[in-house]
């Protein structure tokens, strides 16, 4: 069943209550459907996969890119300290595939010289863009005056921007939050400093650092950043569905969207957003296609880390998200988390999807499926 998920007025079964002629693009200004020009790099469609620690390694990024609709992938955040000291695990985090373009490597740190050196290494590794992390709310990262802590230190942030700009020839971008807390919402100021130093795009997670991931993303607050700079602004936070993306764009005035958790639950989300922005009906995958996608991820993820337990841990973490919204999903996840090998994971998945077929459940993934 194909439906237009951006129409807010729907019947109880999820079908549009409006006429077929009504398109999701009717309420999206044309500039929000245009490619993003980030220096010499063009991001088309303007839909970006968010960096997520322990998730967006090159295997996962390749998987999402293969589905279509992803204009830019971003690595997990990379420690500038570790990268400049040639730490093996850190360098692995920054690895990109030869055909993965455009791609941004995201780095974090508080020392301008090390951030600049890290940016150079990212460029040498093939990064099309170097992204600077001013958004991570983790206490361990913030204690080192990195991530979102830099929202509290505009002068230090500016020195980092200037050092990176002077060190690389590829574009650099910045990902930030609205501010440290509600009393210190300085994202427009930080964005202006970044633009002045040469940044070519900023992405704003529409929460403060103190809000962490609680409450709702305040997309409308991103509009102040849009109005403060001339470079593209991307809105991030709570982009879980196609309607979310449209509402975020309308509320913020941003030129693009970045999605993370929404893509974990629905790997086709970026494709669906891109299609809806173009005015076409978003693709709805059948459950069997989701099975094929999970097996593909398992096959690609079967190599990499030396320790099997580490590899399995990462795989299970991703599968925990990929199986959300499936019928009897909680029961499936229990069997997956108890699996002791990739082979056992595949057997449990095969048994599960065989049961769905026997029960006649071949319909598309839906958030309305009962968790039984």
Q: Determine the pLDDT at residue 365.
A: 58
Q: Determine the pLDDT at residue 366.
A: 53
Answer yes or no: are the C-beta atoms of 127 and 105 closer than 8 Å: yes
Out of 32-41, 157-166, 277-286, pick the least confident.
32-41
pLDDT band per the 50, 70, 90 thresholds, residue 78: very high
Q: Determine the pLDDT at residue 33.
A: 64
Q: Determine the pLDDT at residue 91.
A: 82
pLDDT band per the 50, 70, 90 thresholds, residue 300: confident
pLDDT digit string (tens) for 245-298? Answer: 999 999 999 999 999 999 998 999 999 999 999 999 999 888 888 899 989 988
Give the C-alpha separation, 92 to 109, whole Å. Answer: 18
CATH class of the 28-278 domain in this structure: alpha beta
**Orientation angle between helical segments 329-337 and 342-358, nearest 10 degrees:** 160
Give the C-alpha separation, 339 to 327, whole Å. Answer: 20
Whether 16 shows a pLDDT value over 80: the answer reads: no
Q: Determine the pLDDT at residue 14.
A: 30
Give the C-alpha separation, 255 to 243, whole Å. Answer: 16
Out of 34-38, 269-273, 361-365, pick the least confident.
361-365
**Orientation angle between helical segments 329-337 and 308-322, nearest 10 degrees:** 180
pLDDT band per the 50, 70, 90 thresholds, residue 304: low
Answer yes or no: are the C-beta atoms of 172 and 131 closer than 8 Å: yes
pTM comes to: 0.86
Whether 26 shows a pLDDT value over 50: the answer reads: no
Whether 232 shows a pLDDT value over 70: the answer reads: yes
Q: Determine the pLDDT at residue 89.
A: 80
Give the C-alpha separation, 161 to 313, whole Å. Answer: 36
Alpha helices, H only, the chain: 58-66, 80-84, 88-93, 112-124, 139-142, 154-167, 187-197, 223-228, 242-252, 261-265, 269-278, 287-301, 308-322, 329-337, 342-358
**Between 66 and 1, whose confidence is greater?**
66
Q: Determine the pLDDT at residue 140.
A: 87
Residue 293 in tokens: 């996608």
Q: Are strands 47-49 and 73-74 parallel, antiparallel or unpaired?
A: unpaired
Half-sphere exposure of 246 (CA within 13 A, CB side): 22
Give the C-alpha separation, 294 to 292, whole Å. Answer: 6
Whether 370 shows a pLDDT value over 50: the answer reads: no
Active site residues: 136
pLDDT digit string (tens) for 195-221? Answer: 999 999 999 999 999 999 999 999 999
Report, in angstroms and rounded to the nearest whole number, the Rg of the chain calculated over CA atoms. Answer: 21
**Between 15 and 336, whose confidence is greater?**
336
Q: Determine the pLDDT at residue 93.
A: 85
Give the C-alpha separation, 341 to 369, whole Å. Answer: 28
pLDDT band per the 50, 70, 90 thresholds, residue 32: low
Residue-range domain boundaries for the chain: 28-278, 287-358
pLDDT digit string (tens) for 93-135? Answer: 888 988 899 999 999 999 999 999 999 999 999 999 999 999 9
Cα→Cα distances 352→13, 274, 296, 315, Å = 25, 31, 16, 18
User: Which residue pairs, CB below 8 angstroms and at least 24 apart, start in 19-27?
Assistant: 23/279, 24/242, 24/246, 24/276, 24/277, 24/279, 25/276, 25/277, 25/278, 25/279, 27/246, 27/250
- Mean pLDDT of all residues in 296-304: 80
Answer yes or no: are the C-beta atoms of 328 and 359 closer than 8 Å: no
pLDDT band per the 50, 70, 90 thresholds, residue 25: very low
287 alpha carbon, distance to own chain's centre: 23
pLDDT digit string (tens) for 131-154? Answer: 999 999 999 899 889 999 999 999
Q: Determine the pLDDT at residue 1.
A: 35
pLDDT band per the 50, 70, 90 thresholds, residue 92: confident
**Average model confidence (pLDDT) across the chain:** 87
Q: Determine the pLDDT at residue 288.
A: 85
């Amino acid at each position: 069943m194909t439906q237009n998920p951006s129409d807010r007025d729907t019947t109880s079964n999820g079908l549009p209550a409006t006429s077929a002629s009504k398109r999701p693009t009717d309420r999206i200004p044309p500039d929000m459907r245009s490619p993003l020009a980030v220096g010499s790099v063009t991001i088309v469609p303007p839909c970006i996969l968010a960096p997520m620690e322990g998730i967006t390694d090159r295997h996962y990024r390749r998987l999402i890119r293969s589905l279509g609709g992803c204009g830019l992938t971003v690595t997990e955040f990379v420690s500038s300290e570790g990268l400049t000291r040639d730490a093996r695990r850190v360098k692995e985090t920054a690895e990109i595939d030869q055909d993965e373009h455009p791609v941004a490597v995201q780095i974090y740190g508080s020392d301008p010289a090390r951030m600049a050196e890290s940016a150079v290494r990212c460029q040498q590794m093939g990064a099309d863009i170097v992204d600077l992390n001013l958004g991570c709310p983790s206490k361990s990262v913030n204690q080192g005056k990195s991530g979102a802590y830099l929202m509290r230190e505009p002068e230090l942030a500016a020195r980092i921007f200037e050092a990176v700009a002077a060190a690389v020839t590829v574009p650099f971008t910045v990902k930030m939050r609205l501010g440290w807390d509600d009393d210190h919402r300085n994202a427009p100021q930080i964005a202006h400093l970044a633009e002045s130093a040469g940044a070519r795009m900023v992405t704003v997670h529409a929460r403060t650092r103190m809000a962490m991931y609680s409450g709702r993303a305040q997309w409308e607050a991103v509009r102040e950043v849009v109005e403060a700079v001339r470079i593209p602004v991307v809105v991030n936070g709570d982009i879980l569905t196609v309607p979310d993306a449209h509402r975020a764009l309308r509320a913020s005035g941003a030129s693009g969207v970045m999605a993370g958790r929404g893509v974990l639950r629905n790997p086709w989300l970026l494709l669906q957003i891109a299609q809806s922005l173009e005015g076409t009906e978003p693709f709805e995958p059948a459950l069997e296609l989701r099975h094929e996608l999970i097996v593909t991820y398992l096959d690609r993820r079967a190599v990499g880390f030396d320790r099997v337990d580490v590899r399995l841990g990462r795989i299970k973490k991703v599968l925990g998200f990929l199986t959300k919204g499936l019928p009897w999903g909680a029961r499936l996840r229990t069997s997956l988390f108890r699996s002791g090998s990739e082979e056992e994971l595949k057997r449990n998945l095969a048994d599960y999807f065989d049961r769905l077929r026997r029960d006649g459940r071949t319909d598309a993934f839906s958030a309305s499926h009962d968790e039984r």
